[in-house]
């Protein structure tokens, strides 16, 4: 982990910020140099290096946009799930039940093919449809993680804050949610990393991401070993860099409560 590279006398925020910056810089370098590096490889990789690089960039863009949407949607669903209004609770529960109980591939196909039939004016392009489906999917899992964090905050802290005269909104924003977010952070991080790999299912509706690129090249060259190995290694590099970013965020919040 990059955090271990920094001087021990640095504070936790300094080490986590340095790790975050270093991971982002490494990610930018990898994406910018990936095409050049792959062009040095033998066929069929070298001649298709630019396609691999573009596919990796599309995969990362898909993950970032869908992950952001999923975090917002998950937070909203978690708040609705713990709301005092039964209608909101039922709506959030139905959304989480339906999404978690059906395969992601079916959801992607439904948004792209079936949704325009049900709502004719909502004919989304392939990338937007993949973002919607992936965002809805990860949002359901994020909702349960955030709800668990909200329920894990001791009720006594809420009662103490109210006894001090804080309004309900300030109790939630200043006392409950920061603790709940810290508790929910590890599963949220895990969901985001899983989303990077799950984005490969967007190939089913024609999104030219990394898996789609690899599948097209191996179909044209009949060399699946070299092609799919390159795809797998590229995914491994991307997930490693994303994991470093998420570890830096966890380190910043001292999730385990043991960092000095």
Q: How many angstroms separate the CA atoms of 256 and 260, rounded?
A: 11
Q: What is the mean pLDDT of the chain?
A: 89
Residue 221: CB atoms within 10 A of its CB come to 15
CB atoms within 10 A of CB 123: 12
Please report, for residues 30, 211, 242, the alpha-carbon distance to residue 238 in angstroms, rounded to integers and kept in the order given.
Answer: 9, 13, 6
* pTM of the predicted protein model: 0.90
Q: What is the mean pLDDT of the segment spanning 105-131? A: 93
Radius of gyration of the chain (CA): 21
Give domain status of residue 128, yes or no: yes
117-127: average pLDDT = 90
For residue 164, the 8-state DSSP code is T
Instruction: Kindly state whether residue 114 falls inside one of the protein's structural domains.
Output: yes
Distance between alpha carbon 118 and the CA centroid of its chain, in Å? 28
Query: Is 70 within a domain?
Result: yes
Residue 3 lies in a domain: no
Would residue 131 count as lying in a domain? yes
Number of H helices, E strands in the chain: 11, 0
Assigned domain for 130 exists: yes
Examine residue 259 and state whether it is found in any structural domain, yes or no.
no
pLDDT of 74 reads: 95
Per-residue pLDDT of 150-167, as tens digits, reads: 888 888 888 787 787 778
Q: How many domains does the chain have?
A: 1
Q: Is the pLDDT of residue 241 over 80?
A: yes
Angle between the N-to-C axes of helices 224-253 and 12-38, in degrees from 0 to 180, rounded to the nearest 10 = 170
In whole angstroms, give the CA distance from residue 11 to residue 20: 14
Residue 68 confidence class, pLDDT cut points 50, 70, 90: very high
| Phi/psi-derived region of residue 207, left when phi > 0, alpha when psi is between -120 and 50, beta in every other case | beta
Write the burial class of residue 113 (CB in 10 Å: 0-12 exposed, 13-18 middle, 19+ buried): exposed
User: Does residue 88 lie in a domain region?
Assistant: yes
DSSP 175: I
> Would you state the pLDDT for residue 60?
94
Q: For residue 109, what is the domain's CATH number?
A: 1.10.3720.10
**Chain centre distance of CA 102:** 19
Domain that holds residue 196: 59-205+236-253
- Residue range 161-174: mean pLDDT, rounded: 80
């Amino acid at each position: 982990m990059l955090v271990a590279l920094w001087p021990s006398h640095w504070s936790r925020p300094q080490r986590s910020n340095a790790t975050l910056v270093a991971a982002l810089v490494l990610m930018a370098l990898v994406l910018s140099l990936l095409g050049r590096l792959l062009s040095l490889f033998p066929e069929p990789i070298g001649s298709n290096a630019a396609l691999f690089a573009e596919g990796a960039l599309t995969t990362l863009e898909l993950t970032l946009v869908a992950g952001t949407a999923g975090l917002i949607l998950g937070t909203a669903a978690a708040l609705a799930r713990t709301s005092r209004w039964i209608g909101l609770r039922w709506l959030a529960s139905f959304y989480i039940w339906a999404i978690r109980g059906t395969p992601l591939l079916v959801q992607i196909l439904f948004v792209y093919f079936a949704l325009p039939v049900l709502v004719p004016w909502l004919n989304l392009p392939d990338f937007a449809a993949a973002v919607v489906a992936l965002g809805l999917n990860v949002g359901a899992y994020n909702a349960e993680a955030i709800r668990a964090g909200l329920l894990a905050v001791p009720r006594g802290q809420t009662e103490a804050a109210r006894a001090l005269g804080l309004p309900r909104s300030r109790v939630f924003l200043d006392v409950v949610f920061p603790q709940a977010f810290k508790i929910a952070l590890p599963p949220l991080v895990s969901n985001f990393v899983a989303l990077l790999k799950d984005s490969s299912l967007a190939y089913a509706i024609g999104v030219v991401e990394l898996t789609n690129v690899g599948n097209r090249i191996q179909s044209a060259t009949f060399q699946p070993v070299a092609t799919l190995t390159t795809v797998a290694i590229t995914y491994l590099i991307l997930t490693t860099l994303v994991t470093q970013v998420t570890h830096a965020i966890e380190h910043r919040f001292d999730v385990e409560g043991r960092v000095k």
